[in-house]
């Protein structure tokens, strides 16, 4: 334990919770995109999480998923977890697309249900709740194509 009461067990629990929350976010994105013809989502385990607290407490790096989103065979977006210990947040995932990017911030408290807020050029300071409509706009998919 360090002077702030942080233990190896707490850090490990936070890392596992982060993996679960990112997985749940990706599952939601897949559910939102599944009905759209020509839209395909591919998950990879090609990111690695190894933050300072993990190093300090002797934890191993953690594999993290990324999400590639295709329209037909063209890659139109990628989602990638950036970090868990973010000032003022409970983690961040970036969405990068040809229609602009967004920082998706979890504003929940540790070990609580995620509250994903999207920050982009139009919603830089305040952000807006991450919704299906927001994701479709960022991907450049008109609402009329949605089932």
pLDDT in tens, 2-45: 657 899 999 999 999 999 999 999 999 999 999 999 999 999 99
Whether pLDDT at 121 is above 60: yes
> Is residue 1, in this structure, part of any structural domain at all?
no
Helical H runs in the chain? 8-33, 52-56, 132-139
Q: What is the pLDDT of residue 141?
A: 86
Among 130, 6, 15, 140, smallest CA distance to 81 is for: 15
> Is residue 108, in this structure, part of any structural domain at all?
yes
Q: What is the pLDDT of residue 144?
A: 46
Instruction: Report d(CA 126, CA 22) in Å as an integer.
Output: 22
Q: What is the pLDDT of residue 2?
A: 65
Instruction: Report d(CA 51, CA 60) in Å as an integer.
Output: 10
> Is residue 72, in this structure, part of any structural domain at all?
yes
Q: How many domains does the chain have?
A: 1
> Is residue 146, in this structure, part of any structural domain at all?
no
pTM above 0.75, yes or no: yes
Instruction: Report d(CA 83, CA 104) in Å as an integer.
Output: 11
Among 116, 57, 50, smallest CA distance to 83 is for: 50
> Is residue 88, in this structure, part of any structural domain at all?
yes
What's the domain range around 18?
8-141
pLDDT in tens, 53-108: 999 999 999 999 999 999 999 999 999 999 999 998 999 999 999 888 999 999 99
């Amino acid at each position: 334990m360090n002077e702030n009461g942080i233990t190896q067990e707490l850090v490990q629990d936070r890392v596992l919770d982060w993996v679960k929350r990112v997985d749940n976010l990706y599952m939601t994105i897949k559910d939102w995109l599944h009905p759209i013809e020509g839209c395909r989502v591919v998950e990879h385990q090609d990111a690695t999480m190894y933050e300072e607290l993990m190093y300090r407490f002797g934890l191993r790096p953690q594999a993290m998923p990324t999400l590639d989103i295709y329209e037909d065979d063209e890659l139109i977006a990628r989602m990638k977890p950036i970090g868990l210990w973010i000032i003022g947040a409970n983690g961040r995932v970036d969405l990068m697309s040809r229609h602009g990017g967004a920082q998706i911030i979890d504003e929940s408290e540790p070990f609580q249900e995620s509250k994903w807020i999207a920050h982009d050029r139009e919603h830089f300071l305040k952000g807006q709740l991450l919704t299906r409509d927001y994701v479709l706009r960022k991907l450049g998919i008109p609402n009329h194509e949605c089932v």
